[in-house]
């Protein structure tokens, strides 16, 4: 019988990758994806725990699903509510305590258990939060459909334990998938029409995977993996995210120089420009080390675009610490960045620190930082006007004969063409800029 399912994804790309895998698991069971949750037989929230706001959003969404479930019950039908992802891992049965309508709670390494859970009748809620990461990857079916670009998780978890961050607790210890499994997954995606892959990991540049299980001593770094994957015919572009400054090796920088499929774009979160705060955060580098990496990157790959993440208002951040952050932003010049207000997360070491910064001070600092980052992004985009850029066309645009793609630097680029260009790499002369999108003509 036809069954409908709904899935909402919060958080990072790894969660989006996982949500695609959940869909691949459900489709052979007869489930059809629905855009709206109201009439679904199964509603899934794939959640994020990184900041308080993200977790709270989930609880208000469960409340909404609960109402739909009650309506369905009145009509003699059921809706199974499944909470997956990092909040599921962190809060487990608390979620069911807060809302009795939740049927299934699955941590990020337990999605593959969904098929067996759903095939049995269950009378009480099911909670699974083991760290079976290897089993998880081995149980995902091959995808049968994909677009022009795709994510591929190559690593899970994190051993860095930055004092503000929940990831080591929600995703467990760092684990690198083996090279041949990744190669097989990318090859399959390319055979389905994928032209660009983004390799995912919370610490992706610390990737250290076995070649296969027969060769436990033959370990591949991220650089070596990129070089190996670039041999796949038809794969045009490789990206990776997120890198940690402490793991930025010369080997990876050299791979950028030598591998034309590796895009000249690097997301390298610094978080703060103050050495005192970086130490308190347990980030394992100083601002001087970060600046050295930037210098090296730019000397070897002059056109590389750099982006970053920032946290403002970490406990103990004073005016001079914030000034250090602004100084580093002004000296590096980023092509785009994310910045967040520090959110105290229960269970992390920083949660226990005295947190007495006034909210209006933090807001002011965030505004100043974001203004500068937006200006830098605008300046970076403006410098692209007049250039001939390589663009991978991903989809049709809103206007007639319009196509949208991405530049090497991930900027959205709009062009007009009568010919269907989806999946093609084209040269575009950039003519103008509207907010953060570029517009150009085929050159
Ligand atoms: N592994 C990556 C980042 C993963 S989380 C790295 O180390 O850079 C993505 C971003 O969320 C982080 O870079 C950080 O800027 C932000 N973040 C994480 N925990 C946070 C918290 N408690 N409060 C505010 N922002 C946070
Ligand atoms: Fe979190 Fe730090 Fe690990 Fe990034 S490196 S996921 S911020 S603990
Ligand atoms: Fe959020 Fe978990 Fe990703 S906490 S940022 S979904 S690893």
Q: What are the extents of the domains in the chain?
A: 3-131, 142-263, 267-383, 388-442
Q: How far apart are CA 257 and CA 298, in angstroms?
A: 11
Q: Which of 267, 340, 343 to mutate to test the pocket of ligand 1 (most atoms within 8 A of CB)?
A: 340
Q: Which atom of ligand 3 is nearest to the CA of 54?
A: 1
As given in the structure block, the two tokens for residue 120 are: 């049995």
Is the shortest distance between the CB of 309 and ligand 1 below 6 Å?
yes
Q: How far apart are CA 69 and CA 58, in angstroms?
A: 16
Q: How far apart are CA 349 and CA 316, in angstroms?
A: 14
Contact 271, 281 (CB under 8 A): yes
Across the chain, mean pLDDT equals 95
Identify the pLDDT of residue 143. 80
Q: How far apart are CA 56 and CA 305, in angstroms?
A: 34
Is the shortest distance between the CB of 62 and ligand 2 below 6 Å?
no
Distance of CA 164 from the midpoint of ligand 2 (Å): 8
Is the shortest distance between the CB of 14 and ligand 3 below 6 Å?
yes
**Percent of the chain topping pLDDT 90:** 90
pLDDT (average), residues 289-309 = 97
CB-CB neighbours of 138 under 10 Å: 11
Identify the pLDDT of residue 302. 96
Q: Residue 139 — pLDDT band, cuts 50, 70, 90? A: confident
pLDDT at 134 over 80: yes
What is the residue with the minimal CA distance to atom 1 of ligand 3? 48
Domains 267-383 and 388-442 alike in fold: no
pLDDT (average), residues 36-46 = 96
For residue 321, give the 3-state DSSP assignment: helix
Calculate the CA dihedral of residues 206, 212, 214, 216 and round it to 10 degrees. Answer: 0
Q: Which atom of ligand 3 is nearest to the CA of 15?
A: 6
Calculate the CA dihedral of residues 130, 245, 15, 107 and round it to 10 degrees. Answer: 10
As given in the structure block, the two tokens for residue 257 are: 């120089």
Contact 16, 151 (CB under 8 A): yes
Q: Which atom of ligand 2 is nearest to the CA of 161?
A: 8
pLDDT at 45 over 90: yes
pLDDT (average), residues 115-136 = 88
Query: 83 — alpha (psi -120 to 50), left (phi > 0) or beta?
Result: beta
Is the shortest distance between the CB of 166 and ligand 3 below 6 Å?
yes
Contact 240, 222 (CB under 8 A): yes
Identify the pLDDT of residue 438. 97
Q: Which one is predicted more confidently, 377 or 121?
A: 377
Q: How far apart are CA 31 and CA 3, in angstroms?
A: 5
pLDDT (average), residues 207-234 = 94
Q: Which of 165, 355, 373 to mutate to test the pocket of ligand 1 (most atoms within 8 A of CB)?
A: 165
pLDDT tens per residue, range 258-298: 999 999 999 999 999 999 999 999 999 999 999 999 999 99
Cα angle for residues 418, 423, 425 (degrees, 5° grid) = 85
Distance of CA 106 from the midpoint of ligand 3 (Å): 14
Identify the pLDDT of residue 418. 94
Query: 313 — alpha (psi -120 to 50), left (phi > 0) or beta?
Result: left
Domain at 142-263: CATH architecture: 2-Layer Sandwich (3.30)
Q: Which ligand is nearest to the CA of 201?
A: 1
Which element (helix H / strand E) includes 46? Answer: strand 42-47
Q: ω before 242 within 30° of 0 (cis)?
A: yes
pLDDT tens per residue, range 158-217: 999 999 999 999 999 999 999 999 999 999 999 999 999 999 999 999 999 999 878 888
Pick the CATH number of 388-442 from 3.40.1260.10, 3.10.129.10, 2.40.50.140, 3.20.20.140: 2.40.50.140
Q: Which residues of 209-226 are buried (b: 16+ CB within 10 A; e: fewer)?
A: bbbeeeeeeeebbbbbbb
pLDDT at 145 over 80: no
As given in the structure block, the two tokens for residue 349 are: 């070491």
Q: Which ligand is nearest to the CA of 162?
A: 2
DSSP 270: -
Contact 40, 79 (CB under 8 A): yes
Q: How far apart are CA 414 and CA 405, in angstroms?
A: 7
What are the two backbone dihedrals, phi and then psi, of residue 53, each rounded to the nearest 5 degrees? -55, -45
Contact 106, 84 (CB under 8 A): yes
Domain 267-383, CATH: 3.30.750.200
pLDDT tens per residue, range 52-82: 988 788 999 999 999 999 999 999 999 999 9
pLDDT at 329 over 90: yes
Identify the pLDDT of residue 144. 75
Distance of CA 254 from the midpoint of ligand 2 (Å): 25
Looking up tokens 């100084």 gives 327
**Fold designation for 3-131:** Rossmann fold (3.40.50)
Distance of CA 159 from the midpoint of ligand 3 (Å): 15
pLDDT at 1 over 80: no
pLDDT (average), residues 101-108 = 96
Q: Residue 241 — pLDDT band, cuts 50, 70, 90? A: very high
pLDDT (average), residues 119-132 = 88
pLDDT at 146 over 80: no
pLDDT (average), residues 213-236 = 94
Strand partners, 239: 198
CA atoms within 13 A on the CB side of 116: 8
What is the residue with the minimal CA distance to atom 3 of ligand 3? 12
Is the Cα dihedral 403, 409, 411, 415 positive or negative?
Answer: negative
What is the residue with the minimal CA distance to atom 5 of ligand 1? 50
Contact 40, 6 (CB under 8 A): yes
Identify the pLDDT of residue 71. 95
Q: How far apart are CA 152 and CA 150, in angstroms?
A: 7
Which spans in 75-113 are helix H? 86-91, 93-98
Q: Which one is predicted more confidently, 137 or 371?
A: 371
Is the shortest distance between the CB of 267 and ligand 1 below 6 Å?
no
Which residue, 221, 297, 295, 220, is CA-closest to 256?
297
Q: Residue 443 — pLDDT band, cuts 50, 70, 90? A: confident
pLDDT tens per residue, range 356-410: 789 999 999 999 999 999 999 999 999 999 999 999 999 999 999 999 999 999 9
Identify the pLDDT of residue 217. 87
Is the Cα dihedral 213, 218, 219, 221 positive or negative?
Answer: negative
Identify the pLDDT of residue 132. 83
pLDDT tens per residue, range 2-27: 899 999 999 999 999 999 999 999 99
pLDDT at 121 over 90: no
């Amino acid at each position: 019988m036809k069954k409908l399912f709904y899935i909402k994804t919060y958080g990072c790309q790894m969660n989006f990758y996982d949500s695609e895998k959940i869909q691949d698991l459900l489709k052979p069971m007869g489930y059809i994806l629905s855009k709206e949750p109201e009439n679904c037989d199964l509603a899934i929230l794939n959640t994020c725990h990184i900041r308080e706001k993200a977790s709270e959003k989930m609880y208000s969404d469960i409340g909404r699903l609960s109402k739909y479930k009650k309506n369905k019950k009145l009509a003699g039908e059921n809706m199974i509510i499944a909470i997956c992802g990092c909040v599921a891992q962190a809060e487990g049965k608390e979620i069911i305590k807060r809302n009795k309508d939740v049927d299934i709670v699955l941590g990020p390494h337990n999605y593959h258990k969904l098929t067996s859970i759903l095939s049995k009748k269950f009378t009480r809620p099911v909670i699974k939060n083991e760290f079976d990461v290897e089993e998880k990857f081995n149980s995902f079916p091959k995808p049968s459909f994909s677009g022009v670009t795709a994510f591929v998780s190559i690593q899970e978890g994190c051993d860095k334990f930055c004092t503000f961050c929940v990831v080591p607790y929600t995703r467990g210890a760092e684990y690198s998938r083996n090279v041949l499994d990744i190669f097989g997954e990318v090859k399959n995606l390319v055979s389905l029409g994928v032209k660009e892959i983004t390799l995912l990991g919370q610490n992706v540049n610390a990737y250290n995977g076995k070649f296969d299980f027969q060769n436990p001593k033959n370990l591949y770094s991220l650089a070596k993996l990129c070089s190996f994957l670039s041999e796949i015919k038809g794969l045009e572009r490789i990206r990776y995210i997120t890198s940690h400054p402490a793991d930025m090796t010369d080997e990876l920088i050299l791979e950028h120089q030598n591998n034309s499929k590796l895009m000249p774009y690097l997301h390298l979160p610094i978080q703060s420009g103050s050495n005192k705060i970086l130490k308190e955060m347990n980030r394992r580098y100083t601002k001087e080390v970060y600046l050295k990496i930037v210098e090296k990157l730019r000397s070897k790959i002059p056109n590389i675009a750099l982006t970053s993440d920032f946290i403002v208002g970490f406990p103990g951040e004073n005016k001079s610490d914030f000034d250090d952050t602004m100084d580093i932003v002004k000296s590096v010049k980023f092509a785009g960045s994310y910045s967040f207000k520090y959110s105290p997360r229960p269970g992390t070491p920083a949660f226990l620190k005295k947190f007495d910064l006034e909210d209006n001070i933090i807001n002011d600092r965030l505004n100043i930082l974001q203004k500068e980052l937006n200006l830098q992004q605008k300046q970076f985009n403006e410098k692209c006007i007049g250039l001939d850029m390589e663009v991978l066309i991903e989809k049709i645009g809103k206007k007639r004969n319009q196509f949208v793609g991405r530049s090497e630097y991930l900027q959205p680029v709009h062009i007009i063409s009568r010919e269907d260009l989806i999946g093609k790499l084209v040269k575009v002369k950039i003519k103008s800029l509207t907010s953060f999108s570029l517009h150009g003509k085929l050159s």
